[in-house]
Amino acid sequence: MALRKCACIDTLYTDLPWLDRFAAAAKDGFDAVEFWEWRDKDLDATKKAADEAGINISGFNGDCDYSLVDPEQKEQYMNALKDSMDAAIKLGAPTVTIHSNALGEGGIVINHYDNLSDTVKICSMYERLTQAARLGEEKGIRCNLEGLNITTDHVGNFLKTTQMAAEMIRLINSDKLKVLYDIYHMQLNEGCIGDTITNYCDTFGHIHIADAPGRHEPGTGEINYKFVIAHLEKCGYTGRVGYELFPKGDNAAAVKAIMEWS
C-alpha cells in the first residue's frame, strides 16, 4: 500500500499565494498539506481553501516561544499547546508538531539552556510530554515529537536522537503522543536509517522527508528513498509521509522527483 503523501506548503509551492497552495498540492496528487505556523494565518480562509481543494490539513507546529526543557515555562508552554490544539480542531487537523526547544526565525534555537543539566531537561520534557499526551487525549489531537539536527540547521537543540524520543513515547504510552521521524535531520545526526526504522517504527506518528545534504527533493543527495519507503511499509508504518524540503530547482521538478522516488 502506497503511503499517503503530504506537502509542506511552507517549503513547496512558495511561488504561489498562500490560499492557492492547497489546490496546487491537491492537483499534484498529495493527500494532505502541512505547514509551520498557524498564528499568522486566517484560519477561516485557510480551512475554506483546503475544503474547496478537497485536501486534508495534516498538522502544523504546536509550540510557540516556549521550550519543553525549561522547567520555568510549564504554564506558558501548556497554554500555547492548548491554543494550538484548538486551532487544529478548527482546521480539522489531527496533529500538531512539538520540539524540545523554542525556535526563532529560520529555525534558530532561541535558548540552548547551557545553564541546565541534561537531567533537568529530561525530567522537564517527560513531565511536559505526559501533560501534552493527556491534553491530546481530552481534545482528540495527537502531538508528534520531532528531533532536529544540531550540525547544520538547529545548533543547540536538545532532542537530537530518535532513541530518546521513542523511549519517552513508550514510557508515557499514549496514542496521542508519537515520534515525528524526520529522516533528513536524523541522517545528519545519527544515520542508520534502516535500523532506526526497524527499532522504533512502532512509535512513529509522522515522517518527514528531504534528502541530505542540502534538504532538497529525493534523488539529490545520499539517501536511498526507494529503500526507505519500502522499509517503512515492511515495518508496518501506515501514517503520512511529509515532504518538508526545499526544491533544488523549480517546484514542478521537485514534485516530479517526489512522485518518482516514493
For residue 111, the 8-state DSSP code is -
> CA–CA separation, 262 vs 253, rounded Å?
14
pTM of the shown model: 0.97
Upper half-sphere CA count for residue 133 (Cβ side, 13 Å): 19
Cβ-based neighbour number of residue 190 at 10 Å: 16
Where in the sequence is the domain holding 26, given as residue range(s)?
Answer: 4-261
For the chain, what is the mean pLDDT?
Answer: 97
CATH number at 15 reads 3.20.20.150
C-alpha cell at 119: 537531567
Cβ burial 156-176 (10 Å sphere, 16+ → b, else e): ebbbbebebbbebbeebebeb
Residue 2's pLDDT band (cuts 50, 70, 90): confident
pLDDT at 139: 98
- Kindly tell me if the per-residue pLDDT of 1 is higher than 70: no
pLDDT digits (tens, 9 = 90+) for 159-172: 999 999 999 999 99
pLDDT digits (tens, 9 = 90+) for 27-78: 999 999 999 999 999 999 999 999 999 999 999 999 989 999 999 999 999 9
| Cis ω before 213 (30° cut-off from 0) | yes
Share above pLDDT 70 across residues of the chain, in percent, rounded to a whole number: 100
Residue 2 near residue 245 (C-beta atoms within 8 A): no
pLDDT digits (tens, 9 = 90+) for 96-122: 999 999 999 999 999 999 999 999 999
pLDDT at 261: 85
- The count of structural domains within the chain is 1
Per-residue pLDDT, averaged over 78-92, amounts to: 98
To which H or E segment does residue 200 belong? helix 193-200
Which of 230, 239, 244 shows the shortest CA–CA distance to 198? 230
> CA–CA separation, 19 vs 41, rounded Å?
10
